[in-house]
């Protein structure tokens, strides 16, 4: 079984809809991250969390919110989706500062 | 603001060629630099470099860091079609977040 899972894997939605992307991990890591990737660009950090009570904004948090429901779960919400949020979204985890991050399989989101 | 720049943006080679990918960074407080490979799905970890001048090697891939000149290179020797991917460079700098470069797309033709 995959260590980091994301649901859904693909989603098509309409402008203005509320969308939630979910991430679960079995690695026992405290640190969890949400990134988006646009064609031809690297990964941009949206939000990150170092434990259940910790939420931090990344480079591009506007239009997004997150919830860390448990050590193993970190969800990303788009309160009112817009077309320029069409992208590939990745969840990642790490065990400590400055170490390798492990990525989930990604969610491809299309906002029409 | 911390910045990671990769070059070239893309390249096409033939099987058996050697490829050198570059990653330079402008940062105020370097911690570590990581290389990932992405093949149309999740990035997979290749190397983490923290010390200058020490080469990390895994099979046909190797990487080295120059902390004085603020760059790293990733070498792939005897390339195969399975090496076709986007290679991402990322660094931990001032705080605990990874900053990514835009990536280099490598296409290996048979």
DSSP, residue by residue, chain B? --EEEEE-SEEEEETT--EEEEEEEE-SS--EEEEEEESSSS-EEEEEE-STTPPEEETTEEEEEETTTTEEEEEE-S--GGG-EEEEEEEE-SSS-EEE---EEEEEE-
- Cβ–Cβ contact B100 with A under 8 A: yes
The tens digit of pLDDT for each residue in B18-43 reads 999 999 998 778 888 999 999 988 99
Q: Which residue has the higher pLDDT, A99 or A33?
A: A33
CA distance A110 to chain B (A): 16
Task: Provide mean pLDDT across the span A60-81.
Answer: 96
Q: CA B13, B18, B22: angle at the middle one, nearest 5?
A: 90
Q: What is the pLDDT of residue A1?
A: 59
CA distance B91 to chain A (A): 9
- Please report, in tens digits, the pLDDT of each residue of chain B (110 residues total): 678 999 999 999 999 999 999 999 987 788 889 999 999 889 999 999 987 878 899 999 999 999 888 899 999 999 999 999 999 999 987 777 889 999 999 999 99
Task: Provide mean pLDDT across the span A36-41.
Answer: 86
Taking CA–CA distances from B35, the nearest residue in chain A reads A100
Q: What is the DSSP letter of A6?
A: E
Q: What is the pLDDT of residue A57?
A: 94
Q: Are B76 and B85 contacting, i.e. CB atoms less than 8 angstroms apart?
A: no
User: Taking 90 as the threshold, does the pLDDT of residue A97 lie above it?
Assistant: no
Percent of chain A with pLDDT over 90: 88
Give how far Cα A71 sits from Cα of A3, A99, B19, Å.
14, 18, 40
- To probe the interface with B, which of A42, A44, A93, A102 has the most B CB atoms within 10 Å? A42
Do the strands B10-14 and B104-109 form a parallel or antiparallel pair, or are they unpaired?
parallel
Q: What is the pLDDT of residue A66?
A: 97
Q: What is the pLDDT of residue A48?
A: 94
Answer whether B88 sits within 8 Å of A45, measured CB to CB.
Answer: no
Q: Using a CB-CB distance cutoff of 8 angstroms, which residues of chain A are in contact with residue B42?
A: 90, 103-106
Q: What is the pLDDT of residue A72?
A: 96
């Amino acid at each position: 079984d995959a260590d980091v899972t994301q649901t859904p894997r693909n989603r098509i939605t309409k402008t203005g809809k509320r969308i939630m992307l979910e991430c679960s991990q079995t690695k026992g890591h405290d640190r969890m991250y949400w990134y988006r990737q646009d064609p031809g660009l690297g990964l941009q950090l949206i939000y990150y969390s170092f434990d259940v009570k910790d939420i931090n904004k990344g480079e591009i948090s506007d239009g997004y919110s997150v919830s860390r429901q448990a050590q193993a779960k970190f969800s990303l919400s788009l309160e009112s989706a817009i077309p320029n949020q069409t992208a590939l979204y990745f969840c990642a985890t790490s065990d400590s500062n400055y170490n390798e991050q492990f990525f989930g399989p990604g969610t491809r989101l299309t906002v029409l | 603001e911390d910045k990671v720049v990769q070059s070239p943006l893309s390249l096409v080679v033939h099987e058996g060629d050697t490829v050198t990918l570059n990653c330079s960074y402008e940062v105020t407080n370097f911690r570590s630099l990581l290389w990932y490979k992405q093949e149309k799905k999740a990035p997979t970890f290749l190397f983490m470099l923290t010390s200058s001048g020490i080469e990390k090697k895994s099979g046909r891939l190797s990487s080295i860091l120059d902390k004085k000149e603020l760059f790293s290179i990733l070498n792939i020797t005897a390339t195969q079609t399975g090496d076709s991917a986007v290679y991402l460079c990322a660094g931990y700098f001032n705080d605990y977040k990874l900053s990514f470069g835009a990536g280099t797309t490598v296409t290996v033709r048979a």
